[in-house]
Structures are given as C-alpha cells and as structure tokens.
Amino acid sequence: MARRWRWKRGRRGKPAATWCYAEWGGVTYALGMRYVLGLDGGGTKTECVLMDEAGLVRAEGRSGPSNPMRVGFGGALAAVCEAARTAMYNANLSAGDIHVLCAGLAGAAQVESQRKLKKLLGEEFPTQVVEVCTDIDLKLEATGEGHAIVLNVGTGTFAVGRDQNGQAIRVGGHGPLLGDEGSAYDVGRRAMIAALRASDRGSQDSALAARILHDLRAPDWEELQLRVYRAPDEVFPRIFPVVTAAADEGDPEARMLLHDAAEELAGLVADLMERLRLKDEKFLLVKSGGMAGRSAYFDKRLDERLHAVAPKAEFGELQVTAAQAAARLALKLLLAPTEEGA
C-alpha cells in the first residue's frame, strides 16, 4: 500500500514542533519527528541550523564568537547555547525535542579542548548525543565527495583537503599567536604595526592610518593600543574592511597589505597541494570565509595567485553552509545503526 505523509500545522502556519502523520491502509498514525542541531563557531560569530531527520532545515540561530582560544571555554559555551536556543525558539521546539548536537568550533583542534567542550555541552544538553569537531572538519564536509581543497579566509586562515584515501589534511589554522598569516586579523595587525612605526619615527599619519583611527573612532594611537591590549579580536579584524575599502580606492599602502595577504594564502594552498599530491590533478578549490567578496582588488589578486599555484583547479562553492554541514554530521549520528540493530 502507498504511504502518504502530511504535516500537522503549528502556530502562525509553521510546521508543528514534533509530529508528522502517516497514513497506512487507511489508518492514521502519529510519528515522532526527531531533530538535530548543527553549529559552526569561529572568532566572530556562531551559526546554528536546526534540521529534522528528513534533512530539512527547520530554523536557524546566530550568536557571538565561540572560539575557546579567543573567548575562553565559558564564552564559547555561552555562544553555542545562545545560538542553539534561538534556533529552537524559532522552530517552536525545546531541548527535549533535540536528539543530537554537533558543534564544529574554531580553536577545538586539540583533543583536550574537544573533550572539555564536549563535557560542558553535555551538561547543558544531558539527554542528547553531543559531538564536537573543528570548523575545519565542517568546511571539508560541505564540499561533498571527491578531491577538494577549502581555503578559509576569515578572522583565521587555513587550508584543508582530502587525499586519495579520503584522509583529511590541514595546513595553517594555528591561531593568531602562531599563524593565521593572511587573515583579517593579520592584515589588521600589520596595518596597525606600520602606523605605529611611522608614528614612532615622527612621521605624519598616512592616509590609511588616519582612516583607521577615524573609522574605529579612536582619538589617537595610544587609545587604540589600549583597546588591542584589552581585546585584540575586537580591533584587528575591524581594521580589515578599512584596508579593503582603501585598496579599492587605489591606496598603495592598503594594496600592498592585501597583496602580501594573497601571497600568504596562496602559499597555504601550494603547501597542501604538495602534501595531497594534487599538483598534476584536477580538484575542486573553494574559497570560504568573511574576507571573500569584501574587496574587488583583494578578490582579484587572490584569484590570480591561486590560479598561478593551482592551474588545474576548478573554482567552486561549498554545497552547503558550514552550519548545515554540522547538522548533516549530526544527522549521520542520529541515523547510524545501533549495535543492536546493526
């Protein structure tokens, strides 16, 4: 017999929280719909996707940064929970309706960090299966199947790809103290260092330096330094759009900063291609992150360098967002056969 599905309608025309109905042989049964949460967290924001077991996105949520290396474990936990609560509220669901939560967070690459985050999230979601991975894992998951490299260009930077055996290999992504060359953080830091050096020499502020002070509403460099000492993540990434705007208007200092950033980022891809043995192979190359699409000059320069180091690469887009990729990983855990049913 044919089986037909229909959704119970909820408030304001939304699908109801937990139930769908199946008709089988003329008899209607109420079936419990299961849900998962997928989260993508980084140095500036956290995004959450609530997905049902049929793979449909039912709601989304958003909050602040959740990289534990930048905001601490307490701050990361608070951001993840806020984004999750927002998504559940938007779907008219409660935590009891969620079966699996998967959080992919920047700064969670170390095993000990993953364990601590998993423990903290497990205390907040005690009846759910909780999985913690890195944002890097999510980017690769979002490319689908086959050879691929994802270059992440945002507050932090890294490149990740798959080798012929399906093993994931990453280069970069070591954080602001040990890496992140070419990142928005790095561009902002270099721009400020150049301005401070010029100030130390008694030179007048360059056009770019003056623009940075103006756009960040800082009366002088001493005040901006104090902000950096208190919260560098709130200063350096904010300088990046100032640099890109100036570069698009032809500012030579800004263009040199972005030229150097493009070189660093292309170098990550070149190093990863060498490790993956993709130099003579066709593969998907994806740019992802908040730096992309912000500046015509930077986008052009980066694409030129990437074409130079990876002439056989096919440029493309992620099939889904990183948060959706996290939800898909959660869905795999939800639908995986148990030992009893395997």
Pure H helices in the chain: 68-90, 111-124, 135-141, 184-200, 207-215, 221-230, 236-248, 252-276, 296-309, 322-335
Write down the pLDDT at residue 299: 94
pTM (two decimals): 0.68
What is the pLDDT at residue 266?
A: 96
- Tens digit of pLDDT per residue, the chain (342 long)? 343 434 443 444 344 444 444 444 444 333 578 999 999 998 789 999 999 989 999 999 999 999 888 889 999 999 999 999 999 999 999 988 999 999 998 878 788 888 999 999 999 998 889 999 887 788 888 887 778 899 988 888 889 898 777 778 888 878 788 878 999 999 999 999 999 999 888 889 999 999 999 999 999 999 999 999 998 988 999 999 999 999 999 999 999 999 999 999 999 999 999 999 888 888 889 888 889 888 999 999 999 999 999 998 989 888 788 899 999 999 999 988 654 444
Q: Is 341 exposed, middle or buried (0-12, 13-18, 19+ CB in 10 A)?
A: exposed
Report the C-alpha gap between 181 and 263 in whole angstroms: 10
CA angle 259–263–268, rounded 5-degree value: 150
Q: 106, 288 in Cβ contact below 8 A?
A: no
Give the largest CA-CA distance in the chain.
Answer: 87
Q: Which residue type is seen at 179?
A: G
What is the rounded CA–CA span in Å between residue 81 and residue 8?
28
Given a contact cutoff of 8 angstroms between Cβ atoms, the answer to whether 67 and 43 are in contact is yes
**Identity (one letter) of the amino acid at 273?**
M
